[in-house]
Amino acid sequence: MDFSGLYRVDHRKKKGRTTIFFKSYFLPFFLVFVAAFLIQLTLRSLLLFPVKLDTNSMSPALARGSRVFLTYPHLATIAKDSLVQVRRDGLDLFCRVVATEGNIVQVIDKSLFINHKPVKDYSGSSKDKTIFPENVSRRDNTGEFLVGPRQYFCLNDNWENTQDSRSHGAISFDEIRGKVLFKGYLGFR
């Protein structure tokens, strides 16, 4: 009688609980996390990026603390009424494009004029009813600005914050950091 089969030793390595847990549960979650991270990194570096506003220059449209997604200017069409972020003199400013190349822009008594015609659909919000002459402040009255090639005239929605084209002149395309695609993301305001 041959009893050698009864006591045969299996020399193959048995899989432990740790190996089964790693392959069955941890590895798929880890791979999904890595893939999501790489997709996010690619989208952020090539297409769009999030920004949190730290000023009230665009209130009420975009309040302080609002989160927005910007797309790079070479991927977007910058046109009238576009909200853009501009980097000028080391400052990041948010403003609205009100005039493009070839337009003549002037602010007279807190009213916007483009090509010597009043613009009725745009008025900045201002709580201060005082109107300053141009030699005191360019907030309420400016001279005429001719918008040159690849330039934009941009204004804040909050006119009391004067960090826009009224004080700095037209914005060049190279100074635009991004165009606002949409406001708020992932349930955050």
Answer whether residue 82 is part of any domain: yes
| Domain CATH code at residue 68 | 2.10.109.10
Say if 127 falls within a structural domain: yes
Is residue 149 one of the residues assigned to a domain? Answer: yes
Residue located via tokens 């002459």 = 133
Domain count, the chain: 1
Per-residue pLDDT tens digits of the chain, which is 189 residues long: 555 555 555 556 655 666 666 777 788 888 899 999 988 888 777 777 888 888 877 877 788 888 888 888 888 888 888 889 888 888 888 889 999 999 999 988 888 899 999 988 766 666 777 777 777 777 778 889 999 999 999 988 887 766 788 888 899 999 998 898 877 655 444
Domain-located, residue 43: no
Would residue 33 count as lying in a domain? Answer: no
Pairing label, strands 48-52, 67-71: antiparallel
Q: For residue 110, what are the domain limits?
A: 49-183
Residue 188 resides in a domain: no
Residue 147 inside a domain? The answer is yes
SS3 113: strand
Structure confidence at residue 167 (pLDDT)? 82
For residue 63, the model assigns a pLDDT of: 81
91 occurs within a structural domain: yes
Q: What is the dihedral of CA 136, 152, 85, 140, to 10 degrees?
A: 20
